[in-house]
Amino acid sequence: MSGLIWTRRQMLLRSSAALGALLLPGCDRLSVSPGFRRVLRGAEGLTMRTQRLLIGQSLAREFPPSAISAVFRSNGTRNPRNEEYQRLRSGGFEDWRLVVRGLVPRPLSLSLAELRALPARTQITRHDCVEGWSVIGKWQGVPLAVVLERAGLRPEARFIVFYCADELQRGDGGYYESIDRVDAYHPQTILAYALNDEALPVPNGAPLRLRVERQLGYKQAKYLMGIEAVAGFARIRGGRGGYWEDRGYEWYAGI
């Protein structure tokens, strides 16, 4: 790890020690679940805790239209090859539904038209991939908070899991991701159906993708099929809360 990053982290740690006394009650509440306690014990936990202490619900930077990249490059899956997705795609996603289930009193099944009819948010933000490139794009979508309010969220629901249509390798169970309640209710966390004023292109996750703007690219799940409210993700797939997390990436990918 570069000396620069380490120095910054140490600085964050020092400032968080000062803030710690003020904010500890919130942290205590967060650390109730065994999964969370495990996260918070590691270096990743320190990063997440210090960022949360310092930035709380602050917004990711938003840019003027002039900053939008000429091309929003795509990465990972560019066109899910499974039959079900291709059938939905050839039907213009008319038959596609976003399923909302798990620890919600009112499970939902929402069409694109229904999602488009909900209150929308537009934001021009920078996408940072862990591979070291960035692009700026204009997203439009429905705040996840709006959908969660419709479905309801039981108190024991701590995370939202996002299931995607694509497998990166045959039989891998499919791409998936998860975020906690703080990010789920963050105003810039949206389910995006448009990029740069056009329907979300297939390479970028049509018909719907997650934008969770204070985290790295791999958290931005494309090709959404379902979301599930859960108390923990230890029993889902590899147990680490996401496709790349199961392969060693950090669950909290704050930037």
**Interacting residues toward Mo ion by CB under 5 A:** 129, 217-218
Query: How many residues in the shown chain lie near ligand MTE by CB under 6 A?
Result: 19
Partner whose footprint covers residue 73, from ligand MTE, Mo ion, none (CB < 5 to 8 Å by kind) = ligand MTE
Kindly tell me which residue out of 48, 49, 77, 161 binds ligand MTE, with binding defined by CB under 6 A.
77
Q: Is 48 exposed, middle or buried (0-12, 13-18, 19+ CB in 10 A)?
A: buried
State yes or no: residue 123 binds ligand MTE (CB under 6 A): no
State yes or no: residue 129 binds ligand MTE (CB under 6 A): yes
> In the bound complex, what is the minimum distance in angstroms from residue 137's beta carbon to Mo ion?
14
Q: Measured from the CB atom, is 141 or 205 closer to ligand MTE?
A: 205
Instruction: Put residue 51 in one of left, alpha, beta given phi > 0 → left and psi -120 to 50 → alpha.
Output: alpha
- Residue 147 CB-half CA count within 13 A: 32
Count of H-run helices and E-run strands, the chain: 7, 10
Q: Measured from the CB atom, is 31 or 75 closer to ligand MTE?
A: 75
> In the bound complex, what is the minimum distance in angstroms from residue 187's beta carbon to ligand MTE?
21
User: Do residues 115 and 142 touch, judged by C-beta distance below 8 A?
Assistant: yes
137: helix, coil or strand? Answer: strand
Gap between the Cα atoms of 157 and 255, Å rounded:
25
Restricted to residues 186-245, the positions that interact with ligand MTE (CB under 6 A) are 203-205, 217-218, 220-223
State yes or no: residue 73 binds ligand MTE (CB under 6 A): yes
Burial 113-124 (b: 16+ CB within 10 A, else e): eebeeeebbebb
Displacement of CA 89 from its chain's centroid (Å)? 23
x/- binding map, residues 88-117, to ligand MTE, per CB under 6 A?
A: ------------------------------
> In the bound complex, what is the minimum distance in angstroms from residue 34's beta carbon to ligand MTE?
28
Binding site for ligand MTE (CB under 6 A): 73-77, 129, 164, 166, 168, 175, 203-205, 217-218, 220-223
